[in-house]
Amino acid sequence: MKKITVKVNNPTGLHARPASLLVKEASKFKSSIFLTKNNKDFNAKSIINVMAMGAVNGDEIILKVEGEDEDIALISIKNFIEGFEE
């Protein structure tokens, strides 16, 4: 398992559109991908989970990835969360 802390970089946080794009990106990978906020895990492949997390701009969340493609998945999701700007 790999894990890192990432900072949400989107003026509106992970609301509907960025959340759906994040889920789409996460779903490309075989690995399990979870986001942790306030000690609660959220499945990054579930739109309901990502939106329920309520991440806003500037939040620091923990990205946890486990599986056969965890290295590339970690980089891809990290870059998405930290680089997404609407």
Number of domains comprising the chain: 1
Rounded-to-integer distance, Cα 51 and Cα 69, Å: 25
Taking only the tens place, the pLDDT of each residue in 11-30 is: 989 999 999 999 999 999 99
Provide DSSP, 1-26.
Answer: -EEEEEE---TT-S-HHHHHHHHHHH
79: annotated active-site residue = no
Please tell me the pTM assigned to this model.
0.94
Distance of alpha carbon 55 from alpha carbon 32, whole angstroms: 20
Mean of the per-residue pLDDT values of the chain: 96
- Can you give the pLDDT at residue 84? 75
CATH number of the domain that residue 75 is part of:
3.30.1340.10
According to DSSP, the β-strands at 60-66 and 32-37 are: antiparallel
Task: Pick the catalytic residue from 3, 15, 37, 78.
Answer: 15
User: Which residue range forms the structural domain that includes residue 11?
Assistant: 2-83
Tokens linked to 16? 């509907």
